Every structure is written in structure tokens, then in C-alpha cells.
Amino acid sequence: MAQTRFAPDRGLTSRMITTMFFIGLLYVVVVGVLVVLLKGAWVVVLLIAGALFVAQFWFSDRIAAFSMGAHEVTPEQAPVLHGAVDRLCALADMPKPRVAIAESDVPNAFATGRNRKNSMVCATTGLLRRLEPEELEGVLAHELSHVAHRDVAVMTIASFLGVLAGIITRAALWSGVGRNNRDQNAAIAVLIVTAVSAVVYAISFLLTRLLSRYRELAADRAAALLTGRPSALAAALTKVTGQIARIPTEDLRKAQPYNAFFFAPAFNKESFHQLLSSHPTLEQRLDQLGRIAAQLGT
């Protein structure tokens, strides 16, 4: 697929490949657990696992949009939002994604889609109401860079496989698999595979979080270089983070499951333990944008 004018990021690419390798290993282990547990039904297990994977890959954008309450809008319905996306896509030399709005007072934005031709960029009504035009373009450029770098699809697949593995691992542990099995060798094998699955899941979870934090810094960097206005993105980031802190906790909890896809996390307290955070700290993001501004002389 043709390259865009977003700055390439080899660090992001290598991290995505590494993460997907371990996530793929995780998926193989999880399927192996199911095959061992359901001895005579391994064909059914493989078919179900394959169907779930394909469904998630092909319909991830619709699932995410529905879950977050996004609805597609026309240029007539949202001229400001469409105008900003049009300008950025022309500047980046990339296909225009579908444009959507989510009815939420939480100021945020996200992108979904398995590739550039099937992508969607969404802004919340809270974001549109609070940002100035230059700030909005900075946020949208950040989201479009996720689409251009294809990390949206990687995060979607990684999140799905991690959740699936976690559910299966916990179910196997809670059900006491193998305790009443007459074949002690089979019981031991099941427990070993389950333990391995749990370990791989934990490693994959940490790798996914590490990738998520890096991809946010990469998106900030690419957006700042594309627009040439890192200060506008920094202003938007500061404003969004500050406004999110004023949103009622109940509304933030509804948005929290989708933190990995948002421009800024719903809960700033998530940075309390950086190892588990889906986003870098505000200070890290502003520091990077400050360095870019100095390089550009803006």
C-alpha cells in the first residue's frame, strides 16, 4: 500500500512485529489448551477459534464504533469536523476515512479500522465543543497517524486475543481442570499448558501496554511533524487532560474499557503505575512535543 506523508517510525514497526509474534504464540497456546481439554472436538475448537479471529479482524471497526456510541456523520451534519479531516488527509496524501461523532461529554477521539480503506475517525461532542480549530486538527492528525501506521489493527487484534486468552486461562484455573481426571499424565499436561498460557498472557499484556504507550508517543510525533504545529497539539492535550479530570466518575468508568484507543485516557490515575498504563504520562508527551517545537523553530 502506498506510503503517506506521515513520518515513518521504525521503532513502532519493530514493536508491533514483536508484540504480534508473542500474541500469536499466545493464541497457539490457548488453542492448544482447548484441544487438550476437548480431546475429541479439536476440529470444532480450531474452527471456532479461527472464526472468532476472522470476525474480530473484519468487524473490529463496527464493534468498536458501536461499543463507544459512535455514529457516522456527513459533511452537511458536521462541516467543521469533515473540513479538518479533509485538510489533513490532503496534507498526508492518504484516503479519507469515515468520519463519526460520539455523543459523550468526555472530550476524546479515537480511530478504528483494519486498514486505511476501512478506517474511521471519531470525535466526541465534548471534544468538538472544547477545542479550537488548530487544536482539533492536532488531535485528528494524531488519530490519522494511527491509521497510517496501521497500529490500530494491531492493537485491536492484540486486545482481542489477550482478552480471549485471559478468559480461557481463568476458566481453566477456576474449574479445577484435571483434578478428577483418572489419567494423571493428562491432568499434569493440562495444568502445565494452563500455567504456560497464564504466563504468556501476562507477558503479552505487558507487551501490549508497552506498545500502546509507544504508539501514542509515535502518533504525537507524527502529528506534530505533519501539521508543523506541535504547540497546538500540546495545548489540546493539556486541555483534554484537564477537562477529563472534571468529568463525573460514572461517565469516566463507562469510557475506561476503551482507554487504549483514546487520544487521552479516561482515568488519569492510570499513570499511577506506569507499567500497566495504556498511555505515557502527560509530562512525557508534552516534553516530546516541546523538543519537536524546538527542532522546528516554532
Binding-site residue ranges: 142, 146, 216
Among 143, 250, 270, 283, the one annotated catalytic:
143
SS3 readout for the chain: CCCCCCCCCHHHHHHHHHHHHHHHHHHHHHHHHHHHHCHHHHHHHHHHHHHHHHHHHHHHHHHHHHHCCEEECCCCCCHHHHHHHHHHHHHHCCCCCEEEEECCCCCCEEEECCCHHHCEEEEEHHHHHHCCHHHHHHHHHHHHHHHHCCHHHHHHHHHHHHHHHHHHHHHHHHCCCCCCCCCHHHHHHHHHHHHHHHHHHHHHHHHHHHHHHHHHHHHHHHHHHHHCCHHHHHHHHHHHHHHHCCCCHHHHHHHHHHHHHECCCCCHHHHHCHHHCCCCCHHHHHHHHHHHHHHHCC
Please confirm, yes or no, whether 143 is among the known catalytic residues.
Answer: yes
Residues in binding site for Zn(2+) = 142, 146, 216
Please tell me the distance from the alpha carbon of residue 109 to that of residue 123, in angstroms, as a whole number. 4
Please tell me the distance from the alpha carbon of residue 33 to that of residue 290, in angstroms, as a whole number. 48
C-alpha closest to that of 264 among 65, 142, 99, 108: 108
Q: Which residues are catalytic?
A: 143
